[in-house]
Amino acid sequence: MVDSMFSVIHEQTVWSLKSSVMRMVTNTMGQQEIVVLIAVDGGEDSEYAFHWYVNHFHKAENRLILVHCPETYANVTMMSEYHSY
């Protein structure tokens, strides 16, 4: 059930994602559909947002896109030796 309810898009640039969403706004029947985008990172807040959407907002004709946005932390060894603090 869940697999048919949403599409997962990950590791794409913002422009590529925007292009994908714009193509999905008009479905194959030529009708406008609601596209909902939820950013997820594996945390509890993401899970809460997903369940809230399913319980309060989802309709069968909606298109749900989950975008994986993992948290990243700066690695000091990746900084330039000329980086000013």
Cα→Cα distances 73→11, 46, 49, 68, 70, Å: 17, 19, 23, 16, 10
Q: What is the pTM of this model?
A: 0.53
- Express each pLDDT in 5-57 by its tens digit: 344 444 444 445 555 555 555 666 667 778 888 888 878 888 888 898 899 88
**pLDDT for position 13:** 47
Between β-strands 63-68 and 35-40, what pairing exists: parallel, antiparallel or unpaired? Answer: parallel
